[in-house]
Structure 1
Amino acid sequence: MKKQMAVAVGLAVSGLLSPLAYAKTTLTVYTALEADQVKDYKEAFEKVNPDIEIRWVRESTGIITAKLLSEKNRPQADAVWGLAATSLMILDQQGMLQAYAPKGVEKLSPQFVDKARPPKWTGMDVWAATICFNTVEAAKKNLPRPESWADLLKPVYKGQIVMPHPASSGTGYLDVSAWLQMMGEKQGWDYMDKLHVNMAQYVHSGSKPCKMAATGEFPIGISFEYRGAELKAQGAPIDLIYPKEGLGWDLEATAIIKGTRNLEAAKKLADFSASLPAMQQYEKNYAVLAMPGVAKQNPYIPVDYAKRLSKNNFSWAAKNRDAILQEWSRRYESKAAAKN
């Protein structure tokens, strides 16, 4: 290594090589991607952009959203890669996003891209609600298999269900938002009041309820399809249930933070996020992608999965997020797990 450095310094001194050739741009990227995804995404991006190094700041959706908002007047992030579109809409309402049309954005499905021109954010993939049901533990407790959201209200499930806290987790918020949109606000809150009776705990991660179901800690975990399919493929004794009323969902998306000092590097990140190589990374985890024709069928996810997604008014979900979370906390915070 010392010999390589000496050669590089010698070349630089002789004028054959600029010292700047060895300087990398460090791009601070905030994300709510799953922890086991960020390594592969970083490697794929840096392979194409060897002059840029990603420094991740990773947390769950609610925490990353709150962190970005708290830094509004002194942004610390250059870009966001992997955050709920509803969260990015909130940042956009605060004037925090840099408009930019990534190269190849026209190849993405229009419904997965911000409608502003140029767009403020660009979709990556869809993740949606799924019930992880431990068949072994359920048999021990004589619990029937639920087929719908309504089934979860049955008294037999009291204390047997865990789900994500919507203020911490984007998965938790897409559940709450979907119930309110599908059922109407009055009936939606009434549903959650009854579900709360059966709830054992609200945890601060979208994937944790499925992990808890997989290990038998609780027989039922409301989570999302990617984590459930992965755990089932690994041999966990779980069934994945897609409630017949419809699945709450959100988009993971990418955006540039306005005021970044590394705008050109951030644009390269946005370009990559919308590219085929990036979509091939997303395809390893998700069944519905922003770029048509890339996703492959997962044996644990229904062929008609996209048709099971509920109607979702992203603008409504973003606009009303604070009020919904405040009301949710007033009603149900008593069963929230302690934060680590």
Structure 2
Amino acid sequence: MKKLLFTAAIFFVATGSALSAERLSVLCGADERWCAEMKTSFEQKSGTRVSMVRKSTGEILAQLRAEKDNPKVDVWWGGTGDLQLQAAEEDLLEKYVSPNKPDLLGWANNFEEISKGRASGIYAGALGFAYNADILRKKGLPAPSCWKDLTNAAYRGEIQIANPASSGTAYTALATLVQLFGEDESFKYFKTLDANINSYTKSGSAPVKAAARGETLIGIAFMHDAVTLKQAGFPLEIVAPCEGTGYEIGAVSIVKGARNLESAKAFVDYALSPEGQATGKKAGQNQVPSNAKSEVPDGAPDISSLKLIDYDFAIYGASDTRNRLLARFATEIKAADSQ
């Protein structure tokens, strides 16, 4: 009987310890492989049990809005920061300044200031497009080098881009072209481009993945996503558009009303540390990390050598600007709401 009671006591202590372990719920807007690597790495580092779900940034923002009065998520990690700026403006995010802030590069600190301390930059990546060199050669088509080349009728039905209503990548493309060409001219551009689009995808990286697999000729996406695929052996040629291009700042933030606030803060600190940012390279990703002490992946595009626009995150991350542009896109651009 004593042995039985002792065994039961040990079982109760072990079970109670497991049930009381720290937990954390994270929505991830980065590549699936990076989501998985970050989950495993942080669990090993902290002992916290992490529930990580991958969604597009538009879907994440929609979920946070829907759960505003009863949040079920603690952290939003990865994906284009424009939508996290909008979430900050809508009071969906908790203010938190990490002790790693002094080690962050200027563009990351500027992003945090725009968010009023509610979101922190974790990586940067430039927008561009990539084409499948094998298909281009077989069809005898010209190689595009500029945004305006993509409206060539030779590419009819040969291009994919995501839907800006669901994808932060595509919204970055929309905002980039508005800043490059002016709003009315950019919408004229998109109307012409629409004739060449075979699909508006939900995910921002899906178009370049389709180009890699030979399912479309050209995919508009962030250049680092195309680099990762090219390193894997796919026949992609990556283009930094001649007119200039915009860029993203991927971000991390704590959801307002997070149930596991201290664990959420620890996750943000880890995401901004060199060790946490190294998970990107381990997962085969090629974004430029925000911590000055982090190692830059070998395949990361040299942002300093690209013709980047002075992307205005304050204006194009604001809800009124984003909502207006998305409404106009849905109204004026054919098939803008298709998936």
Is TM more than 0.5 here? yes
Q: Deviations over 1:14-46 (max 9, x none)?
A: xxx994476212211112121121111011111
Establish whether residue 72 from structure 1 lines up as the match of residue 68 from structure 2: yes
Higher alpha-carbon deviation: 149-158 or 286-295:
286-295
Q: Is the 8 A contact 2:127 2:248 kept in 1?
A: no
Structure 1 match to 2:26: 29
Question: C-alpha distance in 2, partners of 1:187/1:144?
Answer: 24
Q: Deviations over 1:23-76 (max 9, x none)?
A: 2122111121211211110111111101x1111232111111111112222212
Q: Is the 8 A contact 1:27 1:265 kept in 2?
A: yes
Q: Is the 8 A contact 1:27 1:53 kept in 2?
A: yes
State how 1:206-245 maps to structure 2 within 5 Å.
206-245=204-243
Question: What is the RMSD of the two structures over their aligned residues, measured on CA atoms?
Answer: 2.3
- Report sequence identity in percent: 28
Counterpart of 1:157, as a letter, is Y
Displacement of 1:81 in angstroms is 1.4
Q: Is the 8 A contact 1:200 1:335 kept in 2?
A: no
Q: Is the 8 A contact 1:134 1:239 kept in 2?
A: yes
State how 1:101-180 maps to structure 2 within 5 Å.
101-113=97-109, 114-115=112-113, 119-180=117-178
Runs of 5+ consecutive residues of structure 2 not aligned to the other structure: 1-5
Give the TM-score normalised by the residue count of structure 1.
Answer: 0.89
- Judged with a 3 Å threshold, the aligned counterparts in structure 2 of structure 1 residues 303 and 126 are, in CA distance, closer, same or farther, namely closer
Establish whether residue 38 from structure 1 lines up as the match of residue 38 from structure 2: no
Structure 2 match to 1:91: 87
Q: Is the 8 A contact 1:78 1:260 kept in 2?
A: yes
Counterpart of 1:303, as a letter, is D
Displacement of 1:116 in angstroms is 6.4
Counterpart of 2:308, as a letter, is L
Q: Is the 8 A contact 2:223 2:301 kept in 1?
A: no
Structure 2 match to 1:315: 314
- Judged with a 3 Å threshold, the aligned counterparts in structure 2 of structure 1 residues 302 and 12 are, in CA distance, closer, same or farther, namely closer
Question: C-alpha distance in 1, partners of 2:212/2:116?
Answer: 43
Question: C-alpha distance in 1, partners of 2:323/2:263?
Answer: 32
Q: Deviations over 1:182-228 (max 9, x none)?
A: 11112211211221122222111111111111121111111222221
Structure 1 match to 2:290: 290
Structure 2 match to 1:3: none
Q: Deviations over 1:122-166 (max 9, x none)?
A: 111013322111111111211111111011122211211111111
State how 1:315-334 maps to structure 2 within 5 Å.
315-319=314-318, 320-334=321-335
- Aligned equivalent of 1:61, options 57, 63, 67: 57
Structure 2 match to 1:10: 10
Question: C-alpha distance in 2, partners of 1:99/1:237?
Answer: 44
- Judged with a 3 Å threshold, the aligned counterparts in structure 2 of structure 1 residues 141 and 62 are, in CA distance, closer, same or farther, namely same
Q: Deviations over 1:300-339 (max 9, x none)?
A: x54355643322111211221111111111122526544x
Question: C-alpha distance in 2, partners of 1:197/1:28?
Answer: 41
Q: Is the 8 A contact 1:137 1:219 kept in 2?
A: yes
Q: Is the 8 A contact 1:125 1:282 kept in 2?
A: no
Question: C-alpha distance in 2, partners of 1:8/1:316?
Answer: 61
Secondary structure of the residue that 1:326 maps to in structure 2? helix
Structure 1 match to 2:198: 200
Question: C-alpha distance in 2, partners of 1:183/1:174?
Answer: 14
Question: C-alpha distance in 1, partners of 2:291/2:8?
Answer: 42
Higher alpha-carbon deviation: 321-330 or 19-28:
19-28
Higher alpha-carbon deviation: 328-337 or 90-99:
328-337
Question: C-alpha distance in 2, partners of 1:104/1:208?
Answer: 33
Structure 1 match to 2:3: none
Q: Is the 8 A contact 1:165 1:172 kept in 2?
A: yes
Question: C-alpha distance in 1, partners of 2:166/2:213?
Answer: 22
- Judged with a 3 Å threshold, the aligned counterparts in structure 2 of structure 1 residues 11 and 331 are, in CA distance, closer, same or farther, namely closer
Q: Is the 8 A contact 2:224 2:301 kept in 1?
A: no
Structure 2 match to 1:47: 44
Establish whether residue 190 from structure 1 lines up as the match of residue 191 from structure 2: no
Question: C-alpha distance in 2, partners of 1:116/1:164?
Answer: 26
Give the TM-score normalised by the residue count of structure 2.
Answer: 0.89
Higher alpha-carbon deviation: 307-316 or 133-142:
307-316
- Judged with a 3 Å threshold, the aligned counterparts in structure 2 of structure 1 residues 96 and 8 are, in CA distance, closer, same or farther, namely farther
- Judged with a 3 Å threshold, the aligned counterparts in structure 2 of structure 1 residues 214 and 19 are, in CA distance, closer, same or farther, namely closer
Q: How many residues align?
A: 328
Q: Is the 8 A contact 2:124 2:250 kept in 1?
A: yes
